[in-house]
């Protein structure tokens, strides 16, 4: 009897150990996915990194997805729960395979099985013989004719040892060989840009080997399918740079490399030179602002007095003063480069694909346009101005240099709109372009000083200060407004008219905040008045940003425009429509569902279906399961379903007998069902 108890306990322990190390996803009696954690070593060696892989073994015909799933699908995610001191690296994704579904829907993923490898780094201080629990929550999506999400808590226990013994060597070696290398491919890639398209020709491929390209776009980047237009020639449509994976070979010989199109620095330089010219022009225009133009003649006369009217010395003072201007602008450029160094580099014009970048830069442009119109002023504190003036009062070339630095800084009230806008755009450029752009602005601002110190007699041709300068300053606000209109056009293409509307609502709040700041934060305002005005300005702009951008704009334009007026799914709304005697067609769908997208294009949003929905007064209701929604999950479970697509019609007068339609929907099936409705 005691022996039986011991055997029973051992059996139960074995069952717990096995079930804690894997997770099975079962649907209608069929095991779709078997998920487990496997290690590259039999034991953990303190301080020595090792690999752990999430092994997904899928039923025949089912597949999961790569880190970029394509037109539909959802990538696998792993959330690690590790003991204190352990660190988990990112998922190392093997090169995927392309799957083309009906309706020209391209997805990228894995069939049969895939090992997603993560490097685990243990701490140095571990007790020998201790058991280390490695636990992860994995979530995935598997699709065939329908898509079913899966998830599970998976655990792997490993002992601590001083010796590392390899485990699952063949499995890890096979999938490690398919992880894209960051080294340069052993082939020649010739990139060409034509309008919105990139074309790449790959030469030097082994005879008989086929190449495939898989895109890895940035989060909001729109990209077309990499179409093969010839042997080793591909065409990709995108308005930004292309980044992806090149895979060559099949099965055991398959190798992959990370590839990307040339950066802005290696592309044709016509656009860059034009931008630098505009930077020079912008710096030149800065001299016409009210707080800059009157200083030019005074500075040049000061140089003449210091140099005793000797031309060489006058020009030397002009060079020193210009050097101070360059020092200030290049200092700003260095700050921008330093701030950017911790983030991801992007290339020329790519940033405009991100609607949030357009919101930020549009807000900056709008605020500084209001500044030029006189709604508010950027004022350097009086004490700072006095201190800077006294610091630059020394004579000699050194004094002229610091006068250039501080004169540029003291011109902040007029130059801030231009510098603020330039800084916003600069954050999207490479380090070389940033330095070149700020140098061109500095050259434009320093040019009059260089010109007049070289030819002092030309000061008689220089425009005299007057009321026209204030008019010019106000006029310069209109080009900024034109820039804002252009940015609004981009946002409209990304988020639709709703996106433009909510962004304009935020700009209205921003304008009110700027007006309060400008009206009650002047140099003669009392401290209490200034504090209240600043508080109100921050509250109005902050609340407007939270509501109009955080709550409204974030959802604007995210659904595809169609001709069917869908009603968002909710149980109370469905009950209300049924009580009102309405027939309701419910489409359970998700953006990552391939079959859903195909059915929407071919069977649902068609002229015949739209006509019948109108004739029968059927209310179309969309249950969007793209993000987790407990109410939609419960509705699916009430029909015994765990995935999408799923279609059901609630007939008017008999809502308790819903009509369930097949997952693979056709226009004929749907129209026949709608024709039977009262």
Q: Are 142 and 25 in contact (CB under 8 A)?
A: yes
> Higher model confidence: residue 402 or residue 445?
445
Residues 123-157 have pLDDT tens digits of 998 988 899 999 999 999 999 888 899 999 999 99
Q: Which two tokens stand for residue 272?
A: 């860059």
pLDDT at 157: 94
Distance, in Å, from the CA atom of 163 to the CA atom of 169, rounded to the nearest integer, reads 16
Residues 639-674 have pLDDT tens digits of 888 888 999 999 988 877 899 999 889 999 999 999
DSSP 3-state assignment of 314? Answer: helix
Q: Can you say whether the dihedral through the CA atoms of 218, 221, 226, 232 is positive or negative? A: negative
Q: Which two tokens stand for residue 14?
A: 């074995």
SS3 readout for 385-430: HHHHHHHCCCCHHHHHHHHHHHHHHHCHHHHHHHHHHHHHHHCCCC
User: Could you count the other beta carbons within 10 Å of the beta carbon of residue 171?
Assistant: 15
CA distances to 33, 173, 526 from 61, in Å: 11, 25, 74
Going by C-alpha positions, the residue among 157, 455, 423 that lies closest to residue 282 is 423
Asked if pLDDT for residue 268 goes beyond 60, the answer is: no
Q: What is the average pLDDT score of the chain?
A: 79
**pLDDT average, residue stretch 165-191:** 91
Report the chain's terminal Cα–Cα distance, integer Å.
Answer: 71
Say if strands 113-121 and 50-58 run parallel, antiparallel, or are unpaired.
antiparallel
Domains identified in the chain and CATH numbers: 20-176 (2.60.40.1250), 188-262 (2.60.40), 270-346+380-469 (no CATH), 567-675 (3.40.30.10)
Share of the chain above pLDDT 70, in %: 76
Asked if pLDDT for residue 181 goes beyond 50, the answer is: yes
Q: Which two tokens stand for residue 356?
A: 């949030």
Which region holds residue 73: left if phi is over 0, alpha if psi is between -120 and 50, else beta? Answer: left
Q: Are 149 and 16 in contact (CB under 8 A)?
A: no
The pTM score is 0.53
Asked if pLDDT for residue 297 goes beyond 80, the answer is: no
Say if strands 618-624 and 659-661 run parallel, antiparallel, or are unpaired.
unpaired
**pLDDT average, residue stretch 49-73:** 94
Confidence of residue 387 (pLDDT cuts 50, 70, 90): very low
Residues 533-559 have pLDDT tens digits of 889 989 998 898 888 888 777 655 444
- Identify any residues that bridge with 644 across adjacent strands, giving them in sequence order: 147
Q: In what order do the strands lie in the sheet with 188-194?
A: 188-194, 197-203, 233-237, 227-230
pLDDT at 84: 92
Distance, in Å, from the CA atom of 38 to the CA atom of 51, rounded to the nearest integer, reads 9
Q: Are 65 and 107 in contact (CB under 8 A)?
A: yes
DSSP 8-state assignment for residue 255: E
Distance, in Å, from the CA atom of 423 to the CA atom of 26, rounded to the nearest integer, reads 54
Q: Are 453 and 303 in contact (CB under 8 A)?
A: yes
Q: Which two tokens stand for residue 72?
A: 């539909």
> Higher model confidence: residue 92 or residue 354?
92
Going by C-alpha positions, the residue among 517, 503, 510 that lies closest to residue 541 is 510
Q: Which two tokens stand for residue 468?
A: 């026209």
pLDDT at 362: 80
Residues 575-620 have pLDDT tens digits of 989 888 899 999 999 877 878 888 888 899 898 999 999 999 999 9
pLDDT at 364: 76
Q: In what order do the strands lie in the sheet with 255-260?
A: 211-215, 243-248, 255-260
Residues 224-260 have pLDDT tens digits of 889 888 888 898 888 678 999 999 988 778 899 999 9
pLDDT at 244: 94
Which region holds residue 249: left if phi is over 0, alpha if psi is between -120 and 50, else beta? Answer: left
């Amino acid at each position: 009897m005691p022996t039986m108890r011991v055997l029973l306990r051992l059996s139960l322990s074995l069952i717990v150990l096995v079930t804690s190390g894997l997770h099975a996803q079962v649907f209608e009696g069929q095991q779709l996915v078997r998920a487990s954690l496997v290690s590259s070593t039999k034991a953990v060696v303190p301080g020595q990194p090792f690999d752990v892989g999430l092994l997904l073994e899928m039923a025949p015909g089912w597949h999961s997805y790569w880190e970029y799933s394509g037109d539909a699908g959802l990538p696998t995610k792993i959330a690690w729960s590790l003991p204190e001191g352990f660190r988990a690296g990112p998922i190392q994704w093997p090169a995927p395979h392309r799957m083309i579904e009906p309706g020209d829907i391209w997805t990228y993923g894995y069939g049969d099985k895939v090992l997603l490898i993560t490097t685990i780094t243990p701490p140095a201080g571990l007790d020998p013989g201790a058991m280390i629990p490695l636990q992860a929550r994995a979530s995935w999506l598997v699709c065939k004719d329908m898509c079913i999400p899966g998830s599970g808590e998976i655990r792997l226990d490993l002992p601590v040892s001083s010796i590392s013994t390899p485990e699952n060597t063949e499995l890890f070696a096979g999938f490690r060989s398919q992880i894209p290398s960051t080294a340069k491919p052993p082939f020649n890639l010739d990139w060409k840009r034509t309008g919105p398209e990139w074309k790449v020709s790959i030469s030097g491929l082994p005879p008989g080997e086929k190449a495939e390209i898989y895109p890895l776009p940035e989060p909001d980047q729109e990209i077309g399918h990499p179409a093969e237009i010839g042997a080793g020639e591909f065409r990709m449509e995108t308005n930004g740079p292309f980044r992806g994976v090149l895979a060559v070979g099949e099965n055991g010989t398959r190798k992959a490399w990370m590839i990307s199109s040339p950066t802005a620095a290696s592309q044709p330089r016509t656009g860059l030179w034009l931008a630098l010219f505009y930077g020079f022009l912008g710096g030149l225009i800065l001299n016409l602002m009210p707080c800059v133009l009157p200083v030019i003649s005074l500075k040049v006369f000061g140089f003449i007095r210091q140099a005793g009217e000797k031309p060489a010395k006058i020009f030397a003072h002009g060079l020193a003063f210009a050097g101070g201007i360059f020092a200030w602008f290049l200092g700003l450029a260095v700050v921008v480069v330093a701030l950017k160094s911790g983030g991801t580099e992007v290339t020329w014009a790519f940033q405009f694909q991100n609607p949030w970048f357009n919101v930020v830069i549009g807000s900056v442009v709008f605020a500084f346009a209001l500044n030029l119109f006189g709604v508010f002023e950027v004022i350097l504190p009086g004490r700072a101005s006095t201190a800077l003036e006294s610091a630059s009062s020394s004579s000699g070339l050194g004094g002229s240099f610091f006068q250039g630095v501080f004169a540029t800084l003291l011109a902040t009230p007029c130059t801030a709109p231009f510098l603020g806008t330039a800084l916003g755009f600069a954050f999207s450029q490479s380090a070389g372009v940033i330095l070149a752009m700020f140098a061109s602005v500095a050259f434009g601002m320093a040019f009059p000083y260089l010109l007049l110190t070289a030819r002092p007699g030309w000061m008689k041709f220089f425009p005299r200060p007057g009321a026209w300068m204030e008019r010019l300053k106000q006029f310069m606000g209109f080009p900024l407004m034109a820039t804002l209109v252009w940015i609004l056009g981009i946002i409209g293409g990304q988020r639709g008219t709703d996106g433009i509307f909510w962004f304009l609502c935020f700009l209205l709040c921003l304008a009110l905040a700027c007006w309060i700041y400008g009206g009650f934060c002047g140099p003669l305002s009392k401290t209490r008045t200034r504090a209240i005005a600043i508080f109100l300005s921050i509250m109005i702009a902050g609340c407007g940003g939270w509501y109009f951008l955080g709550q409204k704009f974030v959802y604007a334009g995210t659904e595809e425009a169609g001709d069917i007026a869908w009603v968002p799914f909710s149980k109370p709304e469905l009950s209300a429509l049924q009580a009102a005697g309405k027939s309701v067609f419910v489409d359970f769908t998700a953006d990552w569902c391939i079959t859903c997208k195909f059915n929407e294009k071919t069977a649902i949003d068609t002229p015949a279906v739209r006509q019948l929905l109108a004739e029968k007064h059927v209310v179309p209701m969309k249950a969007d399961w793209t993000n987790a929604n407990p109410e939609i999950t419960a509705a699916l479970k009430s029909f015994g379903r765990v995935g999408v697509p799923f279609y059901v019609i609630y007939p008017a007068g008999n809502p308790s007998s819903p009509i369930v339609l097949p997952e693979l929907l056709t226009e004929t099936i749907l129209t026949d069902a709608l024709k039977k409705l009262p």
